[in-house]
Amino acid sequence: MSLSRRNDELWIEGCNARALADGHGTPLYVYSRAAIESAWRAYDQAFAAHPHLICYAVKANGSLAILQLLARLGSGFDIVSGGELARVMKAGGDPARVVFSGVGKRDEEIEQALEAGILAFNVESEPELERIARIASARGERARISLRVNPDVDARTHPYISTGMKENKFGIDIHAAEALYHRAAAMAGIEVTGLDFHIGSQLTELDPLADALSRSLALVDRLEAAGITLEHLDIGGGLGIRYRDEAPPTPAALAERLGPLLEGRPQTLLMEPGRALVGEAGVLLTRVEYLKSGHREFAVVDAAMNDLMRPALYQAWQRIETVAPEAVPARAYDIVGPVCETADTLGAERSLALRPGSVLAIHGAGAYGFAMASQYNARPRPAEILVDGDTAHVIRQRESFEDLWRGETLLER
């Protein structure tokens, strides 16, 4: 296993977690290379019977070294900004394996993507389609596009990360998409190549995905009958991970569930997993600064909501444990950070044996951890470590105070 206990101490592959915290300081993000590569290969093997492309959702964790690992495996990438495209290319990713999602693509981002030669734009509205057509035509090109249809399917997940219902901002109503496909097919500057949907994140059931695919395939068949042939089907991502007691489906279970629907279909299948590839591969290490008793027991740690936003933003629960045993009684602590917000609680009422200096590991931190980190309260962002066997690579240096004001200027008078 990539994360294990040896003599009751936490190890990440062949590296002792306490030694990493002592050697590199805290807060500290630590990722397992083996876990990331194993998760990617599980998708690749599960869908081996069907032409496919795994397009990692860069928003989950865009660290260059992680993108580099995935590019070396042959991964594609799902991006939502020009900055993410730049990161993918810096890491050695192939732009011809990139799909560009997102509801607010700017002119310069569309130009950038056309210049790079991406696989497809996932178009989320009629005005966006018109903008892409205008820009591509002016360049004398045809932009490859998919329409992101909104199938109005309840993903049964947190409302903040549900994206496939008609009240969500994402995608084009599936009932309006057919007419827009016909319009797109007639546009100069546009080449219609695919259909895309993405119904949400942290999915723990397969029926919503199968329902969304069934509705989308009915549209594909109507388009085919009208002479609009698609090259690929993009089913998005969203498979969950285990934070607490969830039992998310595996890629193999997903392939088995969707297989009968895809049988005989010539289109290449695109998938956009993010959290499922990196979430469980990462931990955030943090050190206890103070133990504060009163109406509640507080453990004040050196990590905060600016380092890990999910608990404050989503009221998310992530497992927290000590990396080594402490010879003191366990108590029910609220694990809180130093940021001046009551929301700065990383975990409430956790039974832990703690003393000042104890090192904690917050699990499931590989996705939407550092990616959502900020410098709020003028706190430099943490370092990132990638563990490969018994070697720990520093893949991002801890920020300095100077990094806090990089790019700023003082007034001359």
| pLDDT for position 164 | 41
3-state SS, residue 206: coil
Q: Say which CATH class 102-271 falls into.
A: alpha beta
**pLDDT exceeding 70 applies to what percent of the chain?**
96
Residues 120-176: tens digit of each pLDDT: 999 999 999 999 999 999 999 999 999 999 887 765 544 443 444 455 557 899 899
Q: Is 260 annotated as a binding residue?
A: no
| CATH superfamily label, 3-31+279-404 | Lyase, Ornithine Decarboxylase; Chain A, domain 1 (2.40.37.10)
pLDDT at 129: 97
| pLDDT of the residue at 158 | 42
Residue type, 164: G
In terms of pTM, does the model score above 0.85? yes
Residue 37's Cβ-side half-sphere holds a number of Cα atoms within 13 Å equal to 16
Q: Which two tokens stand for residue 271?
A: 């998938």
Q: What's the confidence (pLDDT) of residue 157?
A: 47
Catalytic residue among 340, 378, 410, 411: 340
243 among the known binding-site residues?
A: no
* Sequence ranges of the domains in the chain: 3-31+279-404, 102-271
Locate all alpha helices (DSSP H) within 117-262, ordered by sequence.
126-138, 174-185, 207-225, 251-262
Task: Name the band, by pLDDT with cuts 50, 70 and 90, for residue 318.
Answer: very high
329 labeled part of a ligand binding site: no
Q: How far is CA 361 from the centre of its chain?
A: 20
Mean pLDDT, the chain, integer = 94
User: What are the backbone angles phi and psi of residue 16, rounded to the nearest 5°?
Assistant: -75, 130
Mean pLDDT, residues 279-291:
98
Q: What is the arithmetic mean of pLDDT over 204-225?
A: 93
Same fold, 3-31+279-404 and 102-271: no
Concerning whether 340 is annotated as a catalytic residue, the answer is yes
Q: What is the pLDDT of residue 410?
A: 97
272 annotated as a binding-site residue: yes
Predicted local distance difference test score (pLDDT) of residue 165: 44
Can you tell me whether residue 45 is helix, strand or coil? helix
364 is in an annotated binding site: no
